[in-house]
């Protein structure tokens, strides 16, 4: 067989294998597409892109009123929020309301003046759909050409003013969660295809898959192995205004998860959440410091130990401050980790500072600082240096 032909058949093999792969890939993914349309990354209805880095901020942001606020030294009044329906009709709002996408949202909040906070994306993406006006006795928020992406919390803060000095009265804030049920988008679109979330030991973690309709049925799924995650309301719970919360993260919760929402014939998947488990301490370390002796004679050796008992696999970092530091006295430390006898899932981390042949300059305060992901704590001890017990004279 000529060499060219040999190559030709090899290439045909490679090519056909490749094609088969493509076909299998397409089959798998097309089927998946038919079952669940993945939410497209990026806010659909928007013209300008959400700024990277900012898009993950979920907290509400303050929006300054566009009109100049005349400060009045007024006694704070109880704010209340009403939805302006058509032609002078008002409706006091409850915890949540639903507004048809495309319709306008008009919220009126009693108070002079008031400040508003809106879902972060709305504030970042100022495309002129949101207007805030302060009238004499109330503030008015208007959002036009609404989409599912506008779903979120809208808050009115009454302001307490003395002369020109105004501050928000957080305790008098009134908020409403507004859903904009979108017939095409069951999830509030995310600008990221996936989101990395840290699972910290014993710290509640939220998977913020936010639905645009309170009627959507939402389930939680693991990508590999592909299973639905049980939501029992205790370990993992669902809140239609927040998403899923893992209350006490454990290492087995880690992995790629996503939410699936269904409403009528529509079934969609959320952004993927990559959950990474981090051994996270409950509190800053509580170190204990101990010197071999509080009074050492010149020429003797000194050991100062600093130890922390804490959760297993939680790193503790030690730093030392000591009298000989300024003059560059070369001291050295030994660090170790050992399990605590009888204590389940606890360990002792220790740093020992060794001072060989103590000199006068070594007298003073020795400070150990122990740090973990939650914070740092310092402890000190004083060491006295005394003359040699038996002075040997040549």
Ligand X SMILES: *[C@@H]1O[C@H](CO)[C@@H](O)[C@H](O)[C@H]1NC(C)=O
Positions in the binding site for ligand X (CB under 6 A): 128-129, 144-145
Minimum CB distance to ligand X smaller for 154 or for 273:
154
Question: Judged by CB, which is closer to ligand X: 128, or 330?
Answer: 128
Min dist. Cβ of residue 144 to ligand X (A): 5
Question: Please, are residues 100 and 151 in contact by the beta-carbon 8 Å criterion?
Answer: no
* Residue with smaller CB distance to ligand X, 73 or 128: 128
CA–CA dist 163, 157 (Å, integer): 18
Give the angle subtended at the CA of 146 by the CAs of 142 and 152, to the nearest 5°. 80
Tokens, residue 117: 């906070």
Q: Pairing mode, if any, of strands 174-179 and 96-98?
A: parallel
Nearer to ligand X, 146 or 307 (CB): 146
Nearer to ligand X, 127 or 162 (CB): 127
Q: Whose Cβ is closer to ligand X: residue 180's or residue 318's?
A: 180
How is 132-198 classified by DSSP, letter by letter? Answer: EEE-SSEEEEEE-S--GGG-EEEEEEEEEEETTEEEE-GGG-EEEEEE---SS-SB---SSSEEEEE
How many CA within 13 A on the CB side of residue 291? Answer: 22
Residue with Cβ nearer ligand X (145 or 365): 145
Task: Give the Å distances, CA to CA, from 295 to 353, 384, 388, 391.
Answer: 16, 5, 11, 17
Nearer to ligand X, 129 or 172 (CB): 129
Say if CB 323 and CB 365 are below 8 A apart: yes
Q: Which residue is nearest to ligand X (CB)?
A: 145
Helix (H, G, I), strand (E, B) or coil at 118: strand
**Would strands 266-278 and 37-38 be described as parallel, antiparallel, or unpaired?**
parallel
> How far is Cα 90 from Cα 364, in angstroms, rounded to an integer?
73
Q: Which is nearer to ligand X, 142 or 279 (CB)?
A: 142
Closest approach of ligand X to the CB of residue 128, in Å: 5
* CB of 216 vs ligand X, minimal distance in Å: 26
Q: Please report how close the Cβ of residue 211 comes to ligand X at its closest, in angstroms.
A: 24
Min. distance of Cβ 131 from ligand X in angstroms? 9
Least distance in Å: CB of 61 to ligand X?
20
Q: Which secondary structure element, helix H or strand E, spans residue 34, and what is its range?
A: helix 3-35
Q: How far is the CB of 265 from ligand X (least distance, A)?
A: 27
Q: How far is the CB of 129 from ligand X (least distance, A)?
A: 5
Q: DSSP letters along 44-111, please? A: TT-SSPPPTTTTT--S-EEE--SSPPPP---------EEEE-SSS-EEE--SEEE--TTS-EEEEEES
Least CB distance to ligand X at residue 87 (A): 20
């Amino acid at each position: 067989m000529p060499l060219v032909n040999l190559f030709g058949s090899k290439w045909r093999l490679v090519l056909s294998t490749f094609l088969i792969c493509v076909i299998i890939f397409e089959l798998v993914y097309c089927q998946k597409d038919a079952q669940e349309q993945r939410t497209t990354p990026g806010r659909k209805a928007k013209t300008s892109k959400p700024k990277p880095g900012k898009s993950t901020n979920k907290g509400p942001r303050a929006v300054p009123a566009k009109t100049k606020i005349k400060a009045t030294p007024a006694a704070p009044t109880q704010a209340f929020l009403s939805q302006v329906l058509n032609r002078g009709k008002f409706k006091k709002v409850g915890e949540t309301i639903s507004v048809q996408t495309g319709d306008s949202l008009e919220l009126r909040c009693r108070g002079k003046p008031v400040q508003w906070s809106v879902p972060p994306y709305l504030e970042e993406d100022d495309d002129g759909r949101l207007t805030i006006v302060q009238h004499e006795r109330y503030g008015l928020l208007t959002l036009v050409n609404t989409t599912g992406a506008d779903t979120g919390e809208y808050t009115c803060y009454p302001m307490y003013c003395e002369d020109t000095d105004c501050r928000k009265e957080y305790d008098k804030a009134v908020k409403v969660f507004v859903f904009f049920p979108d017939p095409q988008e069951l999830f509030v679109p995310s600008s990221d295809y996936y989101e990395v979330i840290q699972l910290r030991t014993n710290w509640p973690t939220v998977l913020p898959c936010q639905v645009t309709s309170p009627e959507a049925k939402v389930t939680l799924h693991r990508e590999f192995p592909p299973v639905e995650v049980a939501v029992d309301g205790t370990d993992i719970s669902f809140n239609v205004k927040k998403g899923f919360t893992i209350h006490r993260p454990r290492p087995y919760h880690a992995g790629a998860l996503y939410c699936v929402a269904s409403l009528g014939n529509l079934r969609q998947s959320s952004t993927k959440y990559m959950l990474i488990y981090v051994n996270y301490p409950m509190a800053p370390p509580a170190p204990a410091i101990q010197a071999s002796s509080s009074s050492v004679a010149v020429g003797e050796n000194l050991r100062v130990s600093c130890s922390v008992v804490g959760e297993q696999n939680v790193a503790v970092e030690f730093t030392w401050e000591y009298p000989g530091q300024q003059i560059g006295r070369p001291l050295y430390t030994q660090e170790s980790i050992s399990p605590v006898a009888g204590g389940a899932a606890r360990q002792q981390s220790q740093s020992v500072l060794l001072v060989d042949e103590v000199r006068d300059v070594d007298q003073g305060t020795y400070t150990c600082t122990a740090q973990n992901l939650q914070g740092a704590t310092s402890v000190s001890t004083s060491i006295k240096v005394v003359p040699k017990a038996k002075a040997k004279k040549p």
